[in-house]
């Protein structure tokens, strides 16, 4: 994302080479690619990379794009209005997210050594007053971050890059580290229905060329193990009485409501990343009775296939199955906070009225 943070760019090129040369030779990589669509974007900010004329471990103007904008502060934010003008690179990525059914992703950075997970921003609804901004899928995000750090050569040690900063087990909640508005990982989770973490891969942002090979070796296993996690949880298809797919049906795990409900794609497919356990999956087609199914989710990452659970709505016909639904790119959590605040005075008024009635009696 940042042009002067070059390690991620380099190891993704190595990853592409490793995947295509290992396919058909390595049974694990072959099964992984036979069962997984993998998209790799080595650089989101090529102009920033080209602008970095003098390598520096700490900071250069190459962090920003040609217009001087930080792309990881440029996305719509779920907690506050982001006044930054959306850049061409950001818009391209937003369109990419909209047109694909991404389930799991990571964005790569340098300047630290840690796996950071959503939320990067927060408010009292997500627990920010306690210094931690918790998503409904916090347990899954912790697992994803630990999967990467524990398979990295040294990230799991949590040593950080100096004596002032340590990260237990090599992971951190983004907000606990520092508050960030307009970040990509929060955008992906809220509006892209995609679980994304931020990987900080090197203390030095632009290290010497002779160190790049070691960075690839340090991250190789972690990258593969992380990709496997896309097969966590449950997936399936929602169809009508004729077996036609129903797009935009809401499918959520009970007790894990997303502020922008997760919906099926054009093929009626849904994907929910969940840790092994028992869950109630709720499928809803607007205007019709919801369908609940209890599922026991195993750890299927080694089999490269999440548990499959389909839903068929016999009363739904294809004529009404293509209703368009989407969440506005507005601070949804800010609106949720206002809604909560609007309810609280009512409780106080009721309590006051009860006390007054008791006094009058």
pLDDT value of residue 357 = 37
- Residue range 84-131, pLDDT digits in tens: 999 999 999 999 999 999 999 999 999 999 999 999 999 999 999 999
**CA distances in angstroms from 327 to 186, 262, 263, listed in the order given:** 14, 10, 11
Only one residue has tokens 């009775």, namely: 289
pLDDT value of residue 323 = 52
Q: How many separate helices (H) and strands (E) can be counted in the chain?
A: 9, 11
Residue 333 zone, left/alpha/beta (φ > 0; ψ -120 to 50; rest): alpha
pTM over 0.75: yes
How far apart CA 268 and CA 252 sit, in angstroms, is 14
- Residue range 316-339, pLDDT digits in tens: 886 654 555 679 999 999 877 666
Is 245 a residue whose pLDDT tops 80? yes
Catalytic annotation present for 169? no
Is 358 a residue whose pLDDT tops 60? no
212-228 and 7-22 are packed helices; what angle lies between their axes, rounded to 10 degrees? Answer: 60
Residue pair 200/109 in contact by the 8 Å Cβ criterion: yes
Strand partners of residue 272: 234
Give the up-direction half-sphere exposure of residue 166: CA atoms within 13 A in the CB hemisphere: 6
Catalytic residue among 200, 209, 315, 335: 200
Is 340 a residue whose pLDDT tops 90? no
Task: Say how many C-beta atoms besides its own lie within 10 A of residue 360's C-beta.
Answer: 6
Question: What is the token pair recorded at 232?
Answer: 């966590």
**CB proximity list for 322: less than 8 A, separation 6 or greater:** 246, 247, 248
Give the up-direction half-sphere exposure of residue 342: CA atoms within 13 A in the CB hemisphere: 6
3-class secondary-structure state, position 202: strand
């Amino acid at each position: 994302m940042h042009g002067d943070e070059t390690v991620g760019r380099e190891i993704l090129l190595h990853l592409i080479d490793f995947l295509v040369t290992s396919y058909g030779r390595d049974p694990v990589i072959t099964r992984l690619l036979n069962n997984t669509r993998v998209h790799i974007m080595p650089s989101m900010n090529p102009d920033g990379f080209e602008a970095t004329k003098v390598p520096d471990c700490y900071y250069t103007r190459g962090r920003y794009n040609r217009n001087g904008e930080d792309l990881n502060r440029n996305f719509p934010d779920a907690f506050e209005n982001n006044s930054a003008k959306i850049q061409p690179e950001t818009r391209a990525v937003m369109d990419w997210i909209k047109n694909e059914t991404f389930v799991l992703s990571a964005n790569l950075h340098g300047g630290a050594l840690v796996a950071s997970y959503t939320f990067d921003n927060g408010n009292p609804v997500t627990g920010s007053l306690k210094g931690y901004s918790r998503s409904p899928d916090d347990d899954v995000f912790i697992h994803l971050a630990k999967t990467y750090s524990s398979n990295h050569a040294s990230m799991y040690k949590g040593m950080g890059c100096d004596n002032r900063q340590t990260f237990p087990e090599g992971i951190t909640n983004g907000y606990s580290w520092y508050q960030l508005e307009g970040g990509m990982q929060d955008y992906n989770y809220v509006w892209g229905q995609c679980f994304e973490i931020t990987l900080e891969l090197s203390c030095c942002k632009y290290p010497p060329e002779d160190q790049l090979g070691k960075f690839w070796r340090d991250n190789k296993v972690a990258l593969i193990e992380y990709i496997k996690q896309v097969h966590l949880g449950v997936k399936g298809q929602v169809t009508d009485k004729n077996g036609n797919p129903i797009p935009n049906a809401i499918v959520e795990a009970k007790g894990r409501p997303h502020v922008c409900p997760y919906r099926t794609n054009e093929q009626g497919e849904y994907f929910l990343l969940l840790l092994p356990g028992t869950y109630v999956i709720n499928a809803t087609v607007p205007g019709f009775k919801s369908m609940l199914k209890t599922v026991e989710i195993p750890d299927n990452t080694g089999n490269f296939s999440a548990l499959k659970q389909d839903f068929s709505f016999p009363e739904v016909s294809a004529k009404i199955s293509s209703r368009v639904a989407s969440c506005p790119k507005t601070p949804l959590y800010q609106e949720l906070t206002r809604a909560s605040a609007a309810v609280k005075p009512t409780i106080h008024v009721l309590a006051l009225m009860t006390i007054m009635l008791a006094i009058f009696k």
